[in-house]
């Protein structure tokens, strides 16, 4: 009697793994693709087929898979201490990481968690608690930009303006206010950029004139709202928002989770507007894509409001793996790789890739081509309702991992992508567009 043939990894995954951001019924006929190894910008399936990781494995991988310096830093740290609780104890990697982030951002105090949504929660709670500690507990409401996305925990959903993620949980959520964003695609032809920015800023100011007394913070994704379909807006709006928050005594929270760590061309996207937020949230690329890590950076003024003999006035938010030594070691190696020279190299790389992507910019089914640093996006003309699913499947067959958001095609590759991989990416996208059009 023969032993039964073992089920594939993909079949076992469908049976037991509830995959994120997925309607699992779709996997009844199309199981997830098993990845057996990865190197640089390439993923390899069980048959050894190479697939270019055109979205950095959900925007986290900065310097490619199997990166030797990050791996070595993690391995070396494992020989010292892998994890200790950060309440009452500390370790060198978390101290050095906090110091280096403070030196680069001017925000001297770092509070750690493991994911972006948790960083959002920390920033919102810390802002509201600050106002409570300074005798203004009524300041506990929040403002976000229209279409903003800040994570999927309950607090983060309160400032997330994407119905697909929030509608099912509306009874659980204390929904914040939203104000318009000066989306570059919607700018009227007879309105220049300065006026377009000022129109949006005027709406924010009107809201603050009425509600600043109850508003703790405005939270924004600087320059690019990724999950909204890669909405891009001018840096000048960020500068106006900072000035208005200062004038009306409201915190500014910069959600740099997706756009920070060099993705838009500078370490923080906020740098391009010359602003210093009250809170910065970092995650995703912070550890180079190797281990879960997030951080909220804030000012001396905020920190000082919690510094007291009364325990209840302290910030008691915690996570078991806060400041993981292994994750912090990965982040330090990532910062070593992401120096000013690398940022300059990224700028040159972006220009070379932009030229290679010219056929996408000119494609008749794509419009509103836009780029910020190493982020590209295009809107699909007359996209069917299932465009993203169909396109992703077709692109995968052609050797590229691309996952459109609704009718927006985008790519966000690792910083080590070369021209050959970029051509594979481009040609897979063009082929998938043609295939979906035929459907």
Q: Measured over all CA atoms, what is the biggest interatomic distance in the chain, rounded to whole angstroms?
A: 80
How many whole angstroms separate alpha carbon 90 and alpha carbon 366?
Answer: 51
pLDDT at position 30: 85
The two tokens of residue 439 are 């459907």
**Domain edges within the chain:** 33-62+339-438, 70-337
Scan for tokens 């320059």, then name that residue. Answer: 223
pLDDT value of position 4: 62
Sheet architecture: strand order including 35-39: 35-39, 42-45, 50-53, 400-401
User: How far apart are the C-alpha atoms of 43 and 171, rounded to whole Å?
Assistant: 40
Q: In 3D, which of 355, 145, 341, 330 has the Cα closest to residue 262? A: 341
Per-residue pLDDT tens digits for 193-203 = 999 999 999 99
CATH number of 33-62+339-438: 3.90.1150.10
Q: How far is CA 236 from CA 124, 240, 331, in A?
A: 24, 6, 30
Task: For domain 70-337, say whether CATH 3.40.630.30 is its number.
Answer: no
Please choose, from the candidates 75, 73, 99, 95, the residue with its C-alpha nearest in 3D space to the C-alpha of residue 84: 95
Instruction: Identify the residue whose tokens are 């590759």.
Output: 413
What angle is formed at CA 401 by the lines to CA 53 and CA 355, rounded to 5 degrees?
A: 70
Read off the pLDDT of residues 318-344 as tens digits, 9 standing for 90 and up.
Answer: 999 999 999 999 999 999 999 999 999
Alpha carbon 436 to chain centroid, angstroms:
28
Cα separation of 190 and 112, whole Å? Answer: 46
- Copy the structure tokens of residue 348: 């040159």
Strands 400-401 and 375-380, bridge-based pairing: unpaired
Q: What is the pLDDT of residue 134?
A: 98
pLDDT in tens, 87-116: 999 999 999 999 999 999 999 999 999 999
**Same fold for the domain at 33-62+339-438 and the one at 70-337?**
no
Mean per-residue pLDDT of the chain? 95
Nearest by Cα to 246 from 271, 217, 272: 217
pLDDT in tens, 370-420: 999 999 999 999 999 899 999 999 999 999 999 999 999 999 999 999 999
In the structure, what pLDDT confidence band is assigned to residue 190 with cuts at 50, 70 and 90?
very high
pLDDT average, residue stretch 306-321: 94
Identify any residues that bridge with 143 across adjacent strands, giving them in sequence order: 177, 218
* Cα–Cα dist 139/211, whole Å: 9
Residue 126 has pLDDT above 80, yes or no: yes
Q: How sure is the predictor about 50, in pLDDT bands with cuts at 50, 70 and 90?
A: very high
The pLDDT of residue 20: 85
pLDDT at 336: 98
**Averaging pLDDT over each range in 11-25, 297-311, 425-439, which range is the top one?**
297-311
Over the stretch 230-255, which tens digit does the pLDDT of each residue have?
999 999 999 999 999 999 999 999 99
Percent of the chain surpassing pLDDT 90: 89
Dist. CA 259–CA 166, nearest whole Å = 22
């Amino acid at each position: 009697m023969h032993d039964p043939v073992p089920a594939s990894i993909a079949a076992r995954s469908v049976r037991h793994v509830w995959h994120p951001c997925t309607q699992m019924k779709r996997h009844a006929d199309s199981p997830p693709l098993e990845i057996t190894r990865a190197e640089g910008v390439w993923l390899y399936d069980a048959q050894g087929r190479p697939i270019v990781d055109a979205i950095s494995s959900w925007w986290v991988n900065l310097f490619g898979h199997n990166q030797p310096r990050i791996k070595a830093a993690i391995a070396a740290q494992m020989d010292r201490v892998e994890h200790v609780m950060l309440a009452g104890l500390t370790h060198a990697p978390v101290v050095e990481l906090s110091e280096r982030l403070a030196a680069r951002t001017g925000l001297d105090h770092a509070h750690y968690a493991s994911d972006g949504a948790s960083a959002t929660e920390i920033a919102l709670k810390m802002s509201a608690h600050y106002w409570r500690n300074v005798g203004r507990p009524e300041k506990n409401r929040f403002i976000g930009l229209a279409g903003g996305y800040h994570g999927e925990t309950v607090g983060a959903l309160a400032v997330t303006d994407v119905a697909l993620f929030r509608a099912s949980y509306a009874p659980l959520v204390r929904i914040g206010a939203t104000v318009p964003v000066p989306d570059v695609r919607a700018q009227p032809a007879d309105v220049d950029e300065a006026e377009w920015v000022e129109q949006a800023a005027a709406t924010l100011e009107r809201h603050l004139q009425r509600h600043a007394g109850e508003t703790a913070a405005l939270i924004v994704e600087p320059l690019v709202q990724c999950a909204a379909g890669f909405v891009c807006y001018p840096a000048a709006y960020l500068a106006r928002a900072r000035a208005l928050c200062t004038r009306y005594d409201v915190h500014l929270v910069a959600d740099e989770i997706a756009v920070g760590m060099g993705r838009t061309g500078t370490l923080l996207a906020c740098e391009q507007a010359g602003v210093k937020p009250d809170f910065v949230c970092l995650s995703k690329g912070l550890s180079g894509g190797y281990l879960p890590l997030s951080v909220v950076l804030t000012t001396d003024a905020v920190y000082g409001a919690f510094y007291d003999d009364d325990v209840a006035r302290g910030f008691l938010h915690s996570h078991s793996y806060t400041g993981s030594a292994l994750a912090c070691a990965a982040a330090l190696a990532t910062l070593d790789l992401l120096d000013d020279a690398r940022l300059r190299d990224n700028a040159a790389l972006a220009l070379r890739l932009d030229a290679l992507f010219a056929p996408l910019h000119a494609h008749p089914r794509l419009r509103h081509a836009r780029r910020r640093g190493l982020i590209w996006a295009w809107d699909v003309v007359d996209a069917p309702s299932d465009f993203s699913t169909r396109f992703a499947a077709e692109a995968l067959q052609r050797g590229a991992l691309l996952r459109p958001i609704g009718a927006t095609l985008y790519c966000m590759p690792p910083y080590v992508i070369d021209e050959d991989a970029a051509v594979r990416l481009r040609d897979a996208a063009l082929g998938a567009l043609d295939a979906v059009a035929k459907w």
